[in-house]
């Protein structure tokens, strides 16, 4: 048997990876589950919740696993999901976007 890698790398804590903030606009969702199926990190799952249209929107299982590839928003037919980087300070543009979402709700 060749040498097996078993321990956690010593510098694993030093690896910088951006923290994600996943926004789901539940009212827009029509329950197609594309985002759930295509997420490479399996961050999402179907929720029990029922939205106004009568569908189950997705739910975030583990936000820390998200790597901000934004593929979910690319595949969503209803523009119902997007991801932004959780920054110390939200940029003006992002704030505006979030604002819009809040208004839409």
> Which parts of 8-91 fold into alpha helices (H)?
34-38, 71-75
The window from 13-21, 26-34, 50-58, 94-102 that contacts another protein (CB under 8 A) reads: 13-21
* Residues 104, 52 contacting (CB under 8 angstroms): no
* Closer to another protein by Cβ: residue 61 or 68: 68
Q: How far is CA 80 from CA 14, 21, 76, in A?
A: 34, 14, 7
The two tokens of residue 92 are 């003006």
Touching another protein, residues 54-93 (CB under 8 A):
67-69, 71
Residue 36 lies near another protein (rule: CB under 8 A): no
The two tokens of residue 72 are 């979910």
Residue 32 lies near another protein (rule: CB under 8 A): no
- The least distance separating another protein from the CB of residue 75, rounded to whole angstroms, comes to 9
* Closer to another protein by Cβ: residue 34 or 55: 34
């Amino acid at each position: 048997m060749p040498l097996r890698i078993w321990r956690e790398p010593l510098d694993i804590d030093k690896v910088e990876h951006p923290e994600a903030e996943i926004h789901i606009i539940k009212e827009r969702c029509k329950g197609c589950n594309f985002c759930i199926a295509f997420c490479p990190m399996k961050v999402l799952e179907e929720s029990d919740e029922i939205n106004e249209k009568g569908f189950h929107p997705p739910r975030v299982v583990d936000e820390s696993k998200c790597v901000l590839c934004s593929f979910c928003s690319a595949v969503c037919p209803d523009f119902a999901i997007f991801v932004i980087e959780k920054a110390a300070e939200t940029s003006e543009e992002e704030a505006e976007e979030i604002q819009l979402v809040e208004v839409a709700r």
